[in-house]
Amino acid sequence: MILSMLSISLGATLAKGVLPVLGGPLLTALRLSLASGLLLIYARPWRYQFPWKASRLIIIYGATLGIMNLCFYLSLKFLPLGIAMAFEFIGPLTLALLGTRQRQDFIWILSAIAGVVLLMPISKISTALDPVGIALALVAGLCWALYILAGRRLAVTTTEKELPGAVIVTMGMCAGAVGMAPIGLSLGNLTRMNTPLWLLVLCVALLSGAIPYTLEMAALKHLSTKTYGILISLEPAIGALSGYLFLSEHISWVQGIAIALIVTASAGSTYSESQRRRLLETAN
């Protein structure tokens, strides 16, 4: 899981370097297209009968994936990597916190709110951040939450035998690539592509998609859902470290505390939910 998150952060670091040359739409289209090709080789979805009953959900799944990638990459033009990841993480964190039922869960809600307030440029203690970048990262987070909901719905409406998880991800990635391709090609300029750029974009696709997905699938065979959820909460912190090491992006101590609060809220809510499920299973 740590290697997976490092891979995602390195992929985002490379993407930030390529963005000024290709632009967000073209980079998103190329990244999704290359990642789709790699996943097609891995998952081989043609072995399964296409579930037409789930076609609408697959389109939604792919659309949210495409918009999420586009908005996140565009936000990197305005925000440091770790802060962009923290804002994006608010989407799935909010989704998790919406299901709160116990008093202790409000600790995690307050922690998340405090982290967001410290990041927002609304007080003297907060460091100024570009509101456009904040808005883009928040939209990416919203799409992440919708992507999770669509994925869960797909998992409910189709059995693992009908449509394995790897095939769902592959079909969603392909749908996102098809949707983003005309946007990226119309707003970008493929004539700028040369061998080094193609290699960089391929690395982005590998590091941000194929490699972390494969590592996570391997990790889930050995980790509980609780441990997985707590570990994935470290992603914004690893992103901040990656930005510091490879992009020389410095964040203030207030922003560091804000990221720590968001990480704590995510890990804490995951732990509370796992404890609640265990108690319910014991009672039953």
Q: What residues have CB less than 8 Å from 110, skipping those under 6 apart? A: none
Higher pLDDT, 237 or 159: 237
Q: Could you give the percent of the chain with pLDDT greater than 70?
A: 86
Q: Show the tokens assigned to 181.
A: 């391709």
Tens of pLDDT along 19-64?
988 889 999 999 999 988 888 888 888 887 776 777 888 888 889 9
Mean of pLDDT over the chain: 82
**C-alpha distance from residue 230 to each of 100, 144, 171, 207, 216 (Å):** 17, 17, 28, 21, 13
Q: Show the tokens assigned to 97.
A: 């916190």
* Residue 136, burial from CB neighbour count under 10 angstroms (0-12, 13-18, 19+): buried
For residue 126, name the pLDDT band (cuts at 50, 70, 90).
Answer: low
| pTM given for the model | 0.83
For residue 191, name the pLDDT band (cuts at 50, 70, 90).
Answer: confident
Q: Show the tokens assigned to 99.
A: 């299901």
Higher pLDDT, 275 or 267: 267
Q: Lowest mean pLDDT: which of 24-33, 163-172, 234-243? A: 163-172
Distance CA(9)–CA(26), nearest Å, equals 20
By the 8 A CB rule, do 196 and 25 touch? no
Distance CA(133)–CA(111), nearest Å, equals 22
Distance CA(90)–CA(88), nearest Å, equals 5
User: Is the pLDDT assigned to residue 124 strictly greater than 70?
Assistant: no
Determine the pLDDT at residue 75: 93
Q: Which of 151, 86, 161 is nearest to 116 (CA)?
A: 86
**Number of C-beta neighbours around residue 99 at 10 A:** 10
* Residue 12, burial from CB neighbour count under 10 angstroms (0-12, 13-18, 19+): buried
* Residue 228, burial from CB neighbour count under 10 angstroms (0-12, 13-18, 19+): middle
Determine the pLDDT at residue 225: 62
Determine the pLDDT at residue 226: 63
Sketch the domain layout of the chain as residue ranges: 2-283
Distance CA(270)–CA(268), nearest Å, equals 5
Using left for φ > 0, alpha for ψ between -120 and 50, and beta otherwise, residue 168 falls in alpha
Distance CA(104)–CA(216), nearest Å, equals 29
User: Is the pLDDT assigned to residue 120 strictly greater than 80?
Assistant: no
Q: Show the tokens assigned to 52.
A: 């037409």
Distance CA(222)–CA(115), nearest Å, equals 31
For residue 140, name the pLDDT band (cuts at 50, 70, 90).
Answer: very high
Determine the pLDDT at residue 267: 79
Tens of pLDDT along 210-229?
788 778 767 767 776 667 67
Tens of pLDDT along 54-94?
788 888 888 998 999 999 999 999 998 888 988 898 888 78
User: Is the pLDDT assigned to residue 122 strictly greater than 60?
Assistant: no
Determine the pLDDT at residue 208: 87
Q: Determine the average pLDDT of the residues in 255-265.
A: 85
Sign of CA pseudo-dihedral 254, 255, 258, 264 = negative
